[in-house]
A and B are shown apart, each in its own frame.
Chain A
Amino acid sequence: METKRFVIIGIAVAILIAIAAPFLASSNPDGLESAFFSIYGAKSFMGSDLDEETAAAAEEEAVAVTGNDFSHEPLIPDYSIPGLDKAGEVLAIVVGTLLMLGLAFAVAKVSTRSGS
């Protein structure tokens, strides 16, 4: 397979995953969040019910423990665009994937060139 074709197929696969992800992805908390919620009593270790109130309180408790209240406003919080539902999530992840492609290409190109 020639390089151009390989790269195009690679990009196509990445974009297909990006489009499918909002429909296929589980909305369960990930391993770290699950451990956090269990430790702070918002969820049992192997239970699927999350107590939203305790979960919100747990997040404040963590700030109290560490004193790290840094926050910034991300451009597209939580991979979703308000009012656009699934279409917004697809758009967010596709944009992220294309941005990633461009950024990695640029940084890789600059990194290899600077020494040669």
Chain B
Amino acid sequence: MHIPDAFIPIGQALVYWVIALVFVALALRWARRSMGEEKIPLVAVLAAGIFAIQALNIPIPGGTSGHMVGATLAAIVLGSPYAGVFVLTLVLLVQGVIFGDGGITVMGANIINMGVIGGFIGYYGYTAVRRLIENPYAAAFIAGWASLFLSAILCAVELAVAGTFPLVAGLTMMGIYHAIIGLIEGGITAIALYLIASARPDILEHPLGVGA
């Protein structure tokens, strides 16, 4: 879902950058105030793992493919929506600058779509679903799916404002493709959370058994 430069006019792209930088600043403040030093290696491993798994495009029906974004996983494991913003901003920076994956002028929009929406919908979706369902992995699956789906919906709206996509066709196509890709996001989020929780239950900011 990495928007390339050509898809959004510079003026609009700068507005997204300003909004994104507000969240990046808040994410840095979260790291300074709330992220314990013992979490530093975990953040590094999550960022590396998320970068690697984003390179793994899984085919979906319709001659299309999709990959995990990972903000929901980072947000659940580190216990804050800002963790999703923190990790995804770094991932998108490396992808855009070094690999040309996602534009430079539009990186703000990509940070909003994947980092902010991914982190916030992922984190609050997870905590909300956990009030209804005990199983943390089912909650992680649902939150992962919802975060990816809503990222795509916002992306379609941005591209409609940009004039690149017609609104209805854009929403329909982005919605349908990403409703399917969301299953990948939800599935890998749940599996990764299970593996991390099994290996090191104490490393999770909010232990799974105690409720989120």
Q: Which residues of A approach B to under 8 Å, CB–CB?
A: 1, 3, 6-7, 9-11, 13-15, 17-18, 20-22, 24-32, 34-36, 38-39, 43, 45-50, 59, 62-63, 65-72, 74-79, 92-93, 96-105, 107-109, 111-116
Contacts and interface: CB of A to CB of B under 8 A. Distances in A.
A19 B36 CA distance: 31
Nearest to B34: A112
Contacts of A101: 44-45, 47-48
Contact of B57 (A25, A35, A78): A25
Given A3-B41, A107-B90, A77 B6 contact: no
A25 B173 contact: no
A88 to B, nearest CB: 12
Contact of B51 (A43, A66, A77, A97): A97
B48 A43 contact: no
Interface residues of B, number: 81
Nearest to A64: B6
Interface of B: 1-3, 5-10, 13, 28, 31-33, 35-53, 55-67, 86-87, 90-91, 93-101, 103-106, 152, 155-156, 162-166, 169-170, 173-174, 177-178, 181, 199-200, 203
A76 B106 CA distance: 19
A79 B99 contact: yes
Nearest to A104: B47
Contacts of B162: 65-66
A31 B185 CA distance: 13
A30 B97 contact: no
A78 to B, nearest CB: 7
B173 A39 contact: yes
A34 B62 contact: yes
A1 B202 CA distance: 10
Given A1-B199, A74-B99, A111-B31, 16 more contacts: A7-B45, A17-B55, A30-B66, A32-B155, A34-B63, A45-B173, A59-B6, A68-B8, A72-B104, A74-B96, A78-B101, A79-B101, A97-B51, A104-B44, A104-B46, A108-B86
B162 to A, nearest CB: 6
A107 B57 CA distance: 28
